[in-house]
Amino acid sequence: GAVVSQHPSWVICKSGTSVKIECRSLDFQATTMFWYRQFPKQSLMLMATSNEGSKATYEQGVEKDKFLINHASLTLSTLTVTSAHPEDSSFYICSARDRGFGLGKTQYFGPGTRLLVL
Amino acid sequence: AQSVAQPEDQVNVAEGNPLTVKCTYSVSGNPYLFWYVQYPNRGLQFLLKYITGDNLVKGSYGFEAEFNKSQTSFHLKKPSALVSDSALYFCAVRDGNAGNMLTFGGGTRLMVKP
């Protein structure tokens, strides 16, 4: 299947700093990428949908100024957690769907990035 | 609105026995159904999907799932469980008639004991 990578896999930062997470589709082009957040022992919560070349669509309750998303190319989307606080500590997972028509296309997930804000 | 229910937080099964992880869904349009598996501190791995066609779908690692429209279910099954199958399993649905959004169930932890 298609491969999605994320970098970094782990990040520890001080409160107040900004952290950028990269998501890449390695062997396919993704017009749409998704960013999820997962708390321990819980399911995935969709944060935003990112379309190449346009602004991301954020889910209700997700601060767009806090979680900046850029989808600059068909293979790269970035999530920047600005002025991170301890409550932002979580497991962030990106997902990409192959371009083309049909909602039956599979979403492939990255390995996740664990963020710990001290 | 679309939703997914995984009624069991955890399923325990002995190695070599058949396993079933349950999933029911609700969508207004045609359901596109997916199963993913997550190992500790890892992202989700795609197992299988149902879009149309045969109700029995075969996927990776010997898993299969049966789409039952009348019961709005998509249970994941495997004839003979392995200890290495122990992981967190997520069922997901997308409305085939509208939207991008994939909605996940709460997840079911599968524990396979030797």
Contact with chain B for residue A92, Cβ under 8 A: no
Give yes or no for residue A100 having a pLDDT over 60. Answer: no
Phi, psi angles (nearest 5°) of residue B18 = -70, 150
Give yes or no for residue A5 having a pLDDT over 80. Answer: yes
Considering chain A, what percentage of its residues have pLDDT values greater than 90? Answer: 64
CB contacts of A109 in chain B (<8 Å) are 36, 43-46
pLDDT less than 70: residues of chain B: 98-100
pLDDT-derived band at A2 (thresholds 50, 70, 90) equals confident
Which pLDDT value is given to residue A22? 96
User: Under an 8 A CB cutoff, do B43 and A34 touch?
Assistant: no
User: Under an 8 A CB cutoff, do B41 and A114 touch?
Assistant: yes
pLDDT-derived band at A103 (thresholds 50, 70, 90) equals low
Q: What angle do CA B87, B91, B92 make, to 5 degrees?
A: 140
Number of Cβ within a 10 Å radius of residue B88 = 18
User: Under an 8 A CB cutoff, do B32 and A104 touch?
Assistant: yes
* A37-83 pLDDT tens trace: 998 878 889 999 988 888 899 999 999 999 999 988 889 999 999 99
pLDDT-derived band at A31 (thresholds 50, 70, 90) equals confident
